[in-house]
Amino acid sequence: MSDHHYISTSVLDLEEIHQIISQEKQLALSDEARRNIEKARDYLDEKIKKNKTPVYGINTGFGSLCNVRISSENLTQLQENLVKSHACGTGEKISKPIIRLMLLLKIQSLSYGHSGVSLETVNRLIDFYNNDILPVIYSQGSLGASGDLAPLAHLSLPLIGEGEVYYEGEIFPSEVILKKFEWEPVRLQSKEGLALLNGTQFMSAHGIYALLESYRLSYWADLIGAISVDAYDCNTSPFDELVHLVRPHRGQIKTAERIRRFLEGSEISQQHKKNVQDPYSFRCIPQVHGATKDTLSFVHKCFKTEINSVTDNPNIFVDADKIISGGNFHGQPLALTLDYLAIAMAELGNISERRIYQLVSGLRGPAFLVDAPGLNSGFMIPQYTAASIVSQNKQLCTPASVDSIVSSNGQEDHVSMGANAATKMIKVVENTATILAIELFNASQALSYRQPHKTSEFLENVIKSYRKEVPLVKEDVVMSPLIQKSKEFMENWDVREKYVFD
């Protein structure tokens, strides 16, 4: 197995990104990508020499200053001024995994040969990635329209020896790390600053990170839901294949099949049931979880297109002998999709909390899942916590994509707000992980009251592993550390199916 990933024009997909991350692969340019970059740069240099007419972003100002002509001797300063002046990020620092994805996706986009950057610039970005030198980037500042300008400016600052970077667990001024590696700051040539700053890599990196998490959580939602089905002594007839073949949404069918597989051989599910029907939060798991799966498929398709695209401006088309100023940096496709993903993942948390509520209700087991309720509050308050998080998710799911604020003196008069959609969507996904961890905590406790009857062998093995980290609660204890251990179990328990991206 190669320890390198070669940047090329072949389609980069979620599976490959997961492998790059999980196997900590180094990046390298393919010969094809190197030729693409050099061909576009050579073309641009020749164009500037022979043609003195204004070309946006190459020998003009930016935004509403697009009509201001810049002399040839000032082109490097123009590009460096652009990077420095646009580094206006504020708010929380974004996480290192997302920064790594931003670097990867920016390198991928520049490699197609439609951006006009130099080989030196792309290679330095690759050096940053391979040596885990990660620019410090802030969560606020992008309108998600003229590209993710402020975040990508912070991504680019270290190229010219400005800004800060993470290295070996600490934050350093970029110039310190450049000196450590004996690297000279890059002297940005015409258009390079604009190519670096225009683009959707802040939004895209958040989306890819969230998709990886969301597929994992979708799997866990089904697995934990299956535990809850037996813990609440539910009928399994709602998961019968025939029910779903007459309403054949793909996600619904897949969810029902997975629940049947998880519960195969369960003594509990095979017992006669006193209750003819179960609450929707159990009975409608295929319909609700399935709808989220179908949303993930839609989001996956959108982001697969985006990360294999050129999203800076203007675009260079060497063979057609054209430099075209367009709007591929506009994040509207992503903004709508990110809002949709947040809603879909919030619903996994919403229905999970309803199952938590039912499990502690005392209707089919001891009240609050503990012996001697009254003296012990048991699992009363984890449900409160889940309800609080579900409520916050509902607030975070107010769409960002319906908003727009005019910027750049009216030149940029419609923006996507996709960056805001991205950052709040990440919080929704993180919240959903916590809600599911609470359901696993509750459902595993509730299942113990079904003894001596057992659930399926598969789920018994899951619970056996879980018990090594999270014990049964016999009497009141501090619950917060146990919820955290439940989350960690979900993160660390290894099963290949968590990462099937279809």
The residues assigned a catalytic role are 56
**Which tokens go with 46?**
């020749």
Q: What is d(CA 384, CA 386) in angstroms, rounded to the nearest whole number? A: 5
Nearest CA to 99 among 34, 172, 152, 54?
A: 152
Tokens read off for 137:
């980037």
494: helix, coil or strand? coil
8 Å CB contact between 406 and 366: no
Q: How many angstroms separate the Cα of 415 from the Cα of each of 190, 204, 317, 408, 434?
A: 26, 16, 26, 11, 32
492: exposed, middle or buried (Cβ count in 10 Å: 0-12, 13-18, 19+): exposed
Instruction: Report CA 50 to chain centroid distance, whole Å.
Output: 44
CB 84: neighbour CB atoms within 10 A?
A: 15
CA–CA distance, 352 with 383 (Å, rounded to integer):
10
Selection from 300, 305, 295 nearest residue 397 by Cα? 295
In the three-class reduction of DSSP (H, G, I as helix; E, B as strand; rest coil), residue 373 is classed as strand
Among 92, 57, 54, residue whose Cα is nearest residue 193: 57
CA distance 490 to 292: 19
Burial class for 13, CB neighbours closer than 10 Å (0-12, 13-18, 19+): middle
d(CA 212, CA 270): 35
Distance CA 193, CA 394 (A): 39
Q: Which two tokens stand for residue 103?
A: 């670097």
Helices 285-307 and 201-231, packing angle to 10 deg: 160
